[in-house]
Amino acid sequence: MSPATINVNRSAIKYYYLVNWDKTFSDILLPYCKIGSKFPPILDKQDVLYLIENTKNIKHKI
């Protein structure tokens, strides 16, 4: 499962404990998962030049 899915399930469990049993929920027993950031791949200069040279449409080259 992804970290985001785990965090949603954790929040649902926490809500269930707080609403139904009026108990405090310990963050130590079930901590949040860290969600990593996703960056797009960075193109090299050669890749960019290749894309520009192999494009036939002038508007796309610009």
60 and 30 Cβ atoms separated by less than 8 Å: no
pLDDT for the residue numbered 42 = 92
Is 0.75 surpassed by the pTM of this model?
Answer: no
The predicted structure's pLDDT at residue 45:
94
Q: What integer pLDDT is reported at residue 44 of this predicted model?
A: 93
- pLDDT value of position 17: 85
Contacts of 24 (CB under 8 A, 6+ apart): 18
pLDDT confidence of residue 23: 78
The answer for residues whose C-beta is within 8 angstroms of residue 43's C-beta and 6 or more apart is 51
Per-residue pLDDT tens digits of the chain, which is 62 residues long = 889 999 999 999 889 888 888 877 777 888 888 888 888 889 999 999 999 999 998 888 88
